[in-house]
Amino acid sequence: MSTGESTIRNEPMQIDDITVIDKAKVKKAVTAAALGNAMEWFDFGVYGFVAYALGKVFFPEASPSVQTIAALATFSVPFLVRPLGGVFFGVMGDKFGRQKVLSATIILMAISTFCIGLIPSYESIGILAPILLLLCKLAQGFSVGGEYTGAAVFVAEFAPDRRRGFLSSWLDFGSIIGFVSGAGVVVLLSSIVGEAQFLEWGWRVPFFLAAPLGLIGLYLRHAAEETPAFTEQLERMEKEDQDAVGSAPRISFKEIVSKYWRSLLVCVGIVLVTNVTYYMLLTYMPTYLSHNLHYSEDHGVLIIIVVMVGMLFVQPFVGMASDRIGRRPFIAAGSLGLLVAAIPAFHLITSGNTGWIFVGLLLLAVLLNCLIGVMASTLPAMFPTRVRYSALASAFNISVIIAGVTPTLAAWLVETTGDLMMPAYYLMVVAAIGLITAYFMHETANKPMRGDTPNAGSRREARELLQEQYDHIEASVDGLDVEINDMQDKLADLERRKQALIDRHPDLV
């Protein structure tokens, strides 16, 4: 049974209070979330791999440097509307359910991405072309505002407590698959049709693929069931208040901030260090390699593809290991690694040797794996069911505004300073934020989601979790007994001091 955080239990916890999740439903939920996320990130991520082409198509009168910055800026501006999408879809997700909202986000993403492929060039319609491109990107940003957090909540609420890290890691596995697929399509098309034809019409093809991919993702998500935690939350609300069902959550955003401010700050810190590294490596690096290091576009993208394929093999193992040793060690290790290795990694990347470039990128990729391997399992566990989607989406997308400007800001810093190490300094700053966050965050591995009773993968595991809960309660009672005894000793001492003072006053004796 999933309970609200404020619910007070007056009876002993029983085996039936632990939700045993059907393995087939877990597999279906993870598949729907991960593959659907891959579809969305194919759409969103392919933009980074054709940014050089879009700069020439939509900003032809600018210099090559300004074209690149303008195209990447069009990538970054939609992050400004992500908090709006996060708040909107978050409230809808807590009101109507996770599954329905995830179906809506993938429809919006598919339509807006498909429309990018239909936009005429600047030469055809002038300034209207980049304006239409920006509108489509804003629609994408609004959609993604509810996508990742909703998918993370969806998987986390289905996952047994002991396997939440491993199962949730497949969500970002899907994200990487989407990026790899987008990059692969771009390389394949440009190699087949040639650079001239790719600039003329070939860049549109990846965006047109959004339509069939969106239909596949919609089918998968529509077929998935609502999460047990949300379903049981509705049942609990029905018992408490029939009018509560279908109404807005009975807690305002102001109350969320005042009550869960620590969780919100930790969420912001984790998202910053993870997503800045993510966009630096997977979105900005192709442009950095081609524009600043003068590699061909295809060569730079191919190196990134190989690196991302390597990340795919590491990702599930990080999630699995976090179920054993915890999430905090990986956040700390990834952040510390970035702080120490960012400059050496970029020295390798700028060495001019393809082998060393690959090693430098792979080093950053492994550190990124440490972060994204645990993010999807860590963040949802910080908030109770009734506000989980909206609170997480709000905090996540506010911090993503900063992370989203990474490609644009990194390109601008390199252009204005002429220092190829600027991306490394950028990563070191967010690494420091990650270390501070790791220090203050609470461990969430192998624990029930906040305000929820445990989830188990089998009846046997449910019995083990129940015993662990009993052991935890016994330890807590013993700790309280010690505190009570200490307080009694302090009270007795205060009584003695009080009596000593009274004895010295003639009118109080």
Residue 456 three-state SS? strand
pLDDT at 321 over 80: yes
- Asked whether residue 176 carries a pLDDT value surpassing 50, the answer given is yes
The domain over range 19-242+256-457 is classified in CATH as 1.20.1250.20: yes
Which one, of 221, 190, 202, lies nearest residue 301 by Cα?
190
**Per-residue pLDDT tens for 95-134?**
777 778 888 888 888 888 889 889 888 788 888 888 888 8
Mean pLDDT of 478-498: 86
Confidence band (pLDDT; 50, 70, 90) for 236?
A: low
Q: In the chain, what are the domain boundaries?
A: 19-242+256-457
pLDDT at position 65? 67
pLDDT higher than threshold 90 for residue 334: yes
The residue type of 15 is I
Query: Are the CB atoms for 404 and 85 separated by under 8 Å?
Result: no
Distance CA 94, CA 391 (A): 10
DSSP string, 283-337: IIHHHIIIIIS---HHHHHHHHHHHHHHHHHHHHHHHHHHHHH-SHHHHHHHHHH
Q: Return d(Cα 120, Cα 130) in angstroms, integer.
A: 9
The sign one gets for the Cα dihedral 109, 24, 385, 149 is negative
Average pLDDT of span 3-18: 57
Helix, strand, or coil (residue 19):
strand
Which percentage of the chain shows pLDDT scores above 90?
Answer: 19
Residue 92 has a pLDDT of 82
Task: Average the pLDDT over 158-184 and give the result.
Answer: 86
Q: Which amino acid is at 424?
A: A
Q: How far apart are CA 168 and CA 155, in angstroms?
A: 6
Q: What is the pLDDT of residues 241-286, one digit of tens each?
A: 544 444 444 566 677 778 888 889 999 999 999 999 988 887 788 7
pLDDT at 306: 85
Who wins on pLDDT, 25 or 135?
135
Contact 68, 414 (CB under 8 A): no
Q: Is the pLDDT of residue 71 over 70?
A: no
Mean pLDDT of the residues in the chain: 81
Check residue 72 and give its pLDDT: 64
DSSP letters spanning 71-132: HHHHHHGGGGTHHHHHHHHHHHHHHH-HHHHHHHHHHHHHHHHHHHTTPPPHHHHTTHHHHH
Instruction: Name the CA dihedral angle for 142, 111, 275, 279, rounded to a multiple of 10 degrees.
Output: -130
**The predicted structure's pLDDT at residue 245:** 44
- Averaged pLDDT, 168-183: 86
pLDDT in tens, 179-210: 788 878 887 888 888 878 887 888 888 888 88
**Average pLDDT estimate for 150-175:** 88
Predicted confidence at residue 7, as pLDDT, reads 42
At residue 4 the predicted structure's pLDDT band, cuts being 50, 70 and 90, is: very low
Q: How confident is the model at residue 329 (pLDDT cuts 50, 70, 90)?
A: very high
Q: What is the pLDDT of residue 1?
A: 39
- Whether the per-residue pLDDT at 392 is higher than 80: the answer is yes
Residue 328 has a pLDDT of 94
Tell me the CA end-to-end span of the chain in Å, nearest whole number. Answer: 59
Which pLDDT value is given to residue 342?
94
* Tokens 């305000």 belong to residue: 451
Is pLDDT at 458 greater than 90 in this prediction? Answer: no
Q: Which residue has the tokens 């998968």?
A: 220
